[in-house]
Amino acid sequence: MQQIVDNNLIDTSFTLPIVGMTCAACVSHVGEALERIPEVERAVVNLATEKATVHIPSGHIQKELLKSTVQDAGYQLGFESITLSIEGMTCAACVSHVESSLLKLEGVEEAYVNLATETAKVQYIPGLESISSIRLAITNSGYSSSYIEKEELGYGSTDRSQKRIIQQAVVSLLGAGFIMLGMVPNLGSALPFQNEYLSFVIATIVQFWAGRQFYTSSWNAARHRTTNMNTLIAVGTSTAYLYSTFAVLGKIFGLNDAFPETYFSTSCAIIGMVLLGRYLESKSRRRATDSIKLLLDMAPKTANIIKGTDIKIVPVDNLVIGDVVIIKPGEKIPVDGSVVEGFSEVDESTLTGESIPRIKEIGDPVFTSTVNGTGNIKVITESLSDNTVYSKIVSLIEDTQASKAPIQRIADRLASLLVPAILIVAALTFLTWIIVGPDPTYSYATIAAVAVLVIACPCAMGLATPIAIMVGSGRGAENGILYRDALAIETLQKVDSVVFDKTGTLTKGQPKVTGINSHSSYSANEILEYAAAVEKNSEHIIAKAIVTECESRKIVPVDVSEFRSSPGLGTSGVLNEKAILVGNKIFLRSAGVEVPDTLNSADLGEVHVSIDGSYSGSIFFSDTIRDDA
């Protein structure tokens, strides 16, 4: 394995991202500042790419010197973010060790390690660090890592590892159960498990097959002069197993008084329970990240792209800025962009929470995962799939789940100190029982020490808070609530008042008719009947409300002819040779109908009805507050 000789040294030639340059003078300023460093032969700065290529013949320079030089010149080094999957972490102490190893790298700005998702999000400066150097630092801290794509985020243990863990847990617990059956009075003498040699065989299989992972992890930690939860489990179960082994050997050589009892069942039960707990933890992690998977699945995977006179279906990831896509009625919009042709209404409730569709015409922006209404529109791509508003919302949820609340940072720091402290307390407990304990002293001392090692494991310290954050942010996303970070969730418990700047996120999205005003000889029911006859052919949310109100009044809408829909304006049709118009003021006025200017409503909205060329009345709507709002 390659070893890092000096992490502060960099390659002979490298490229740094520079943030803040705006003109040629900035380029000159940065270049001159870098070339004043004695080790730098030359620096080539490019304003277009916002990067500086630095040549160092010796290949030896302090990274911190480069950072301070750029900052002293009035600029900043840009950074990139990556997410790595970390294997082998079991407790908050592991989190602390990985984070400290990453933060020791000069080119790493921030590192957030999440035990619940088994991931590390690292912000680093390209040129000063690379993905390989970051992964090498993780390897040198005793853990393994791999780069994961966005769609793979947040899923921790694989199905195969989950299956292996539960198999080992079941075998361990069954082994402990079989051994303990031999201890039952009157029953044990009739069973072969009373034979301590057979118990030794069962415990040995469990200890070094099911418990192998504890030894591997604790050894890797010891090699790097650290400890973790696996250290406690390995030491505790090994103590019980070795004591019992000596007891079996003592009976062979006639030394029963030194080790009168065996505790093979104890070591098996501890391994089994810990593995069962890890399996349940893994299941909880996957459930907590279902919200991310659900959001990712909601985004369209393909788009209808216009190539000349042809329309081709291509993966969204293959689109480039400037591509024109066509969105048919009822389809999800696959890109962020602007309408270049067509007219429609778009349901943006997935982004805004507002149930009423918004009118979209040429020049208006549209967003990924919103739903097109009744019109065909052509959209020019302005943001790619990884830079859309929707993807940023998903990233915000991922960042929240990966962030740490202040209380979690305290827990991680304490856990790194708690493991060695527990080892010391266990050793003192053992010695105390040896010195002042009753006979058999070794037996009592062993059980007491093992109890301290196992019961005091800090596994819950590392998992409780991150899983709570994952569940909270996931459930929030399902209900349209986004948290900026874990601190916001922790602070929320102190909130006693919430102010909303709009009501669309609080209502059911099912408007109802609240009133009908007649401005003609037609009654309210007649106006409703004419309106429903036209609107029953429309899928608009307001149209459905009119039809529903008509049905609640036992009025059966009749069929109209020559039905037409004008997205964002209204609908029209002919009934009994009378032209019926239902829509907003602009729609009616464009058809020559005089609509009074004084009409308005404080409710959700209103539509106006014209019968046979004359203004007849208006229908008002409002939405109801959700029960869980």
157 near 119, Cβ under 8 Å? Answer: no
The number of CA neighbours under 13 Å toward the Cβ of 203 is 29
- Report the 10 Å Cβ neighbour count for 451: 15
Provide the residue count of the chain: 629
Structure tokens at 345: 């209404």
Q: Which member of 6, 72, 496, 501 is catalytic?
A: 501
**Phi, psi angle pair for 55, to nearest 5°:** -110, 125
Distance of CA 617 to the CA centre of its chain: 50
587 near 564, Cβ under 8 Å? Answer: no
Q: Where are the beta strands (DSSP E) in 399-520?
A: 512-518
220 near 212, Cβ under 8 Å? Answer: no
Strand pairing class (614-622; 512-518): antiparallel
Active site residue 501: yes
Nearest to 400 by CA among 144, 116, 143, 125: 116
Distance of CA 150 to the CA centre of its chain: 10
Q: Which amino acid is at 533?
A: A
H or E segment to which residue 33 belongs: helix 24-35
Burial class (CB in 10 A: 0-12, 13-18, 19+), 484: exposed
- Report the 10 Å Cβ neighbour count for 90: 26
Q: How far is CA 101 from CA 9, 134, 219, 464, in A?
A: 17, 9, 18, 23
CA distance 426 to 415: 16
Strand pairing class (358-360; 336-342): unpaired
DSSP class of residue 75 equals: -
- Report the 10 Å Cβ neighbour count for 350: 18
Residues 6 or more apart whose Cβ sits within 8 Å of residue 161: 282
Nearest to 534 by CA among 561, 507, 496: 561
- Give me the numbers of helices (H) and strands (E) for the chain, helices first please: 19, 23
Nearest to 102 by CA among 61, 143, 156: 143
Which strands form 561-566's sheet, in the order they lie side by side? 512-518, 614-622, 605-611, 578-583, 570-575, 561-566
Distance of CA 263 to the CA centre of its chain: 43
Burial class (CB in 10 A: 0-12, 13-18, 19+), 182: buried
Distance of CA 462 to the CA centre of its chain: 18
Place of tokens 């149930």: 355
Q: Which residues are tagged catalytic?
A: 501
